[in-house]
Amino acid sequence: MSQLRGGDSQKIIQSELKQGIELLNKKIVQEEENLALKSTELGDQIIEQSKQLSEEILSKYDHASKNLKQISQQLDDAKVNRSDLSGFFLELGMRLSSDENTDPLGRLKG
């Protein structure tokens, strides 16, 4: 009778081990599913943040480009045209030359 009890206890232990293994397998599958879900969520978050950063970079690029164009236009507007400048110096030279031949009242020196 002790052998039956030993055989029964082995069956009970085997049954408990089998149940434990099945329970562990179920938990492993659940954790794998949970990990896959978390990985997908993390990937989605990374993609969303990447899109936001790309939009922000593009916006800042556009803003900087517009500012650069505006400053460039202002510099072009402020730059004196060379022909205008040469005309100014020519006229100034002529007046100075003319001033050497006239007195303060504009009469020719004699």
Give the CA distances from residue 102 to residues 1, 65, 66, 92, 106, in Å, rounded to whole numbers and listed in that order: 149, 56, 54, 15, 5
Q: For residue range 84-101, what is the model confidence (pLDDT) as tens digits?
A: 888 888 998 888 887 666
Contact of 93 with 86, CB cutoff 8 Å: no
Who's near 109: CB < 8 A, 6+ residues apart?
101, 102, 103
Q: For residue range 46-64, what is the model confidence (pLDDT) as tens digits?
A: 999 999 999 999 999 999 9
Provide the percentage of residues in the chain whose pLDDT is more than 70: 84
Please state the domain extents for the chain.
2-57
